[in-house]
Structures are given as C-alpha cells and as structure tokens.
Amino acid sequence: MPTLLLSKMEVKQLLDVDHLLPLLKNAFIKHSLERTIPVQKHRSSLPDSLNSSVVLFPGYTPTLPVYTVKVHAKHPNYPPSIKGVLLLHDLKTGELLAIMDSTYLTAVRTGLTAALATHHLANPSADTLTIIGAGVQGVYQLRYITKFRKIKQVFVYDTNHRQAQTFTDTMTEEIGIPLIVTKSLTKALSSSSIIMTATWSKKPFIFANTISPGTHITSLGSDEPNKNELDIDLIRNSLFICDDRELTLKSGALFNHQSHSSTIDAELGDVLAGRHPGRTQESEITIFSSVGLAFQDLVAAWSVYQKAIDNKNKYRNITL
C-alpha cells in the first residue's frame, strides 16, 4: 500500500483545531488513567551547543489503531527553530501509512494543550495575560487561550524588544485585544493573573517573590535538560501539574532542580478526568509545566490523515 506524503502547507490545510481538541483531551485522560506503555523522549546535543536532535515515540493511545514516531531538529537561531518529520504507522502491521511535516502540527498541539491546561487551572475570573517569549509558541498560546476564555488585556515580554513589538502589532490585529509591550520582566510577571512562557532560558527567571497570589503559570520552556524557567521554591509552594510524571523527573522542570516525585501534585490528565480537583483556592498559585508527549503528535496526525484519505487522490503517495 502506498504511503501518503504531506507537506507543511498540506498539514496546515488539513488540521482542524476544533476536531483536534476533544481527541487531545481524551488522550491526556487515557494517558493518566490507563497507560501501559511509557512515553519516551530522547535528545542528543549537536556540535553547536544550542542545537539538538529529539525523537519522540511511540505516540500511542488505546482508542486509535495507529502509532507515531517523530524526529525533530531544534535550532533556535534558524527559524522556524523546531523542524521535523512525523511517521504514522499501522499499529497491528507496522505499515507506514503517512510521512508528514511535523513543524505546524507540533506548534498547534503544544499551544492547544497549553491553553487547555491554563483554562482548567487558572481562576475562573482571570482575564489578564502575560506572554513571555514572543516567538511561534507565544502566538499559538495567545491564539488558543482566547478560544477558552475572554482575555481583556495582554502584556508581552521578550529579551528581543523588536521581536516583542512585531508580535504585539501582529497579534493585536488578529485577536482584537489590547497588547502592551513591557521592557520590565518584573512588571510582566506582576501585571497579570495568567502567565504563559515559552523560552530557551537556561536559568530560572520566575521566582516566588515575583508572583502575585492566585496567579496561574504555564511553562513550556523547561522541556529538556538544562532549560529552566521556574525557581524550585516557586514550584514547591505552588500546585504543580505536569503532563507526564516520569519525563518531568527525567528531563523536565524537576530534572533541572534534581527534585523528587513528591513535588508533583498531579498530571494534566488527572485534572481533566476529575481525579484531581486542580485549583481549590482563589489565592493558590498554580503551575502547568510540559515536556511534550508523543501521543499529542499522534492525535493531531490521525486527524490530518483521516481528512487526507477522504481525498487521497489529491495528495502525493509514494511506494518505499
């Protein structure tokens, strides 16, 4: 059987966020309540210390007849900083059903997960937002959190002030919400009830004494060894939710602090399933820290593939 070959543009045309959301939510619940196969994420540095190669596998959830393997290149100075390819296999036979660009797919599933977690953990009345890191993921976090709740004002901080201004101009026009660039990290952290970060920082920059009571923080930058956004005292004094306990300890926010599993209050799937209540007090500080999981790629790729095979003659097929 031929293998479907999909470009970044074709994936972008096929991926329906509204269709993806319930698949993503259900996959997180299954992962926390029913998993039998651990998610793996393997990283290797490259000669330039900023660059790395990452493999995420297997993308698996018990409700789908397929699995994925994703290979990513991370090169922060060469946008898009994350590039890659995803392989979609038949779960029973191993047949390679599709090869697709994973750049857009990864950005969407990451931003949508961040927004989903933020909405469930932030105070119901929280309507001011700070974006730290005016890159691709900042765009998707902002775009998708406005699907879940009304945001009245957005502050933007980036060490590259010009990039922050460009981000602000672009996103103000897209979402119709006032965006304000701030050059002060302290002001950025204290100005909002929701903070969403996605940076390449190697040192913590969010500390307990810079955060107001009741704030929610979604941190995407502490996703591999030697990347760090959150101070350990802040983590220990917050409700700390992760996407996967084992990977958070092995390569995420807690690895960088050499902390213990007792620091983790729950996984996102536990909160979505109602097994953990999530936020219980208005004054509580909550954190969602994500390393990124292969089954997120799987459900996005499956959604793309299902739409593509409905019009299979429209797309390229190859025989390997």
Residue 230 gets which letter from DSSP?
A: B
Degrees, nearest 5: CA angle 36-297-293: 50
Judge if 96 and 190 occupy the same domain.
no
Please indicate, yes or no, whether residues 181 and 201 belong to a single structural domain of this protein.
yes
**Residues 148, 241: one domain?**
yes
Q: Are residues 67 and 192 in the same domain?
A: no
Q: Is residue 116 part of a domain?
A: no
For the chain, the domain total comes to 2
Q: What is the pLDDT of residue 70?
A: 98
Q: To the nearest 10°, the Cα dihedral for 300, 295, 46, 139?
A: 50
Q: Do 150 and 253 reside in the same domain of the chain?
A: yes
The CATH number covering residue 21 comes to 3.30.1780.10
Domain hosting 94: range is 8-106+295-318
**pLDDT for the residue numbered 50:** 85
112, part of any domain? no
* Whether 102 and 162 share a structural domain: no
Its pTM stands at 0.96
Per-residue pLDDT of the chain (320 residues; tens, 9 = 90+): 899 999 999 999 999 999 999 999 999 999 999 999 999 999 999 998 889 999 999 999 999 999 999 999 999 999 899 999 999 999 999 999 999 999 999 999 999 999 999 999 999 999 999 999 999 999 999 999 999 999 999 999 999 999 999 999 999 999 999 899 999 999 999 989 999 999 999 999 999 999 999 999 999 999 998 899 999 999 999 999 999 999 999 999 999 788 888 999 999 999 999 999 999 999 999 999 999 999 999 999 999 999 999 987 899 999 98
Name 99's bridge partners.
5, 87
| Separation of alpha carbons 230 and 208, rounded Å | 9
Based on the fold, state whether residues 227 and 158 are members of the same structural domain.
yes
Q: Are residues 83 and 134 in the same domain?
A: no
Cα dihedral across residues 300, 31, 72, 216: positive or negative: positive
